[in-house]
Amino acid sequence: MADTCGLTRVFDFQLLKDMVAVSEATSWAVRTSVEAKYRALRCHIAPLSTNSAEYNKVKSLLDSSTNRPMNVSVVNIYAIHRAVEESVFNGNLGNNRLLFHASGVKNFVGILSR
């Protein structure tokens, strides 16, 4: 139990550090737009059109997932781009696959900031 508490504390401190970094990048504005927060993380977010091939591919993969919780419906799908990652990604290697990762909302800032 002590190890779990210590690990939780480490994650909480990291979350706090990430939130401070985003707040500093948005000049501590109380009512900063969502877009400004993503810019502070050096990310671009955009909703996918329900008619787009990318949207339909992701939705199809989610719908066919055997590990998906019951009664889940797709409301929106977003594309997030990070220029840093796109500049080093080599798409010519082949065997590219979409991978899904479940994470708590409180982890998103940490994931997107790295």
Positions in the chain whose pLDDT score sits under 50: none
What does the alpha-carbon distance between residue 91 and residue 28 come to, in Å, rounded to a whole number?
Answer: 37
pLDDT at 48: 93
pLDDT at 111: 76
Rg (CA), the chain: 17
The answer to whether the predicted template modeling score (pTM) of the entire model surpasses 0.85 is no
pLDDT at 96: 82
Q: What is the pLDDT of residues 45-77, one digit of tens each?
A: 889 999 999 999 998 888 887 666 667 778 888
The answer to whether the beta carbons of residues 80 and 112 sit under 8 Å apart is yes
